[in-house]
Amino acid sequence: MKTFTTTFAVILIGISSVFASTGSTQESRATVVETRGDIFKVFYTDNSTSPVTILLTDEHGNVLRRDVVRNDNAFMKRYDLSNLKSGKYAFEIKDKQGRITKDVQIQDQADDLVAIRCLCENRYQLLLEQKNGKPVSLCIYNTEGEMIHKESINSKKGFSKVFDLSKFNSENYTFKISDNSSTRIVSVD
């Protein structure tokens, strides 16, 4: 009987802690997610039907934007902050239950987006998205740091190109992409 009572008490404590940890807290009804460096989404998950006010403030507390959203069983609102300078900002979500503040940071974004994808052994796809449309110099180096490929690319908005490096015997490669104001270096195995 003592073992049964002890086991029952342990199970009861376990169930209580599960219910306590899954209960809705004030902070869990709203969150802010950065989807890109300057794009944020406010998720509101409370099922009430009361209006929700979203304020965007700068680091000095100045209100930059104010939205009132009619809540019908949760919502998501997208904010493009690309026109704001680098710095600290805050989303303040107000509803009938109170106020939740989520701080965000905006940092200068590089002009170019560079991605290299391994297609198969020693075949790589280089993707470049440009905001400035400047001519680009591309150099590819092997493990020993020897340049194995060089070319200049003129593209207004970006490009995609596949490189077959199977004729080179190297453990990894380094792609160096430069324009007249910046250099990006990406190493791949």
Helix (H, G, I), strand (E, B) or coil at 186: strand
Q: Shortest CA distance to 163 belongs to which of 179, 136, 133, 142?
A: 142
CATH number of the 26-106 domain: 2.60.40.3080
Q: How many CA atoms lie within 13 A of 183 on its CB side?
A: 7
Q: Shortest CA distance to 162 belongs to which of 189, 140, 144, 181?
A: 140
* pLDDT reported for residue 112: 63
Task: Give the whole-angstrom CA distance, residue 102 versus residue 27.
Answer: 10
* pLDDT reported for residue 9: 42
* pLDDT reported for residue 25: 47
Share of the chain above pLDDT 90, in %: 27
Triad 117, 132, 181: Cα angle to 5°: 85
DSSP 29: G
Alpha-carbon Rg for the chain, nearest whole angstrom, is 26
Do 26-106 and 112-188 fold alike per CATH?
yes
CATH number of the 112-188 domain: 2.60.40.3080
* pLDDT reported for residue 141: 92
* pLDDT reported for residue 19: 36
Tell me, what amino acid is at 43? F
**pLDDT averaged over consecutive 10-residue blocks of the chain (189 residues)?**
43 39 56 81 88 94 94 88 87 93 77 77 83 80 91 81 89 85 78
Task: Give the whole-angstrom CA distance, residue 106 versus residue 58.
Answer: 11
Ranges of each domain in the chain: 26-106, 112-188
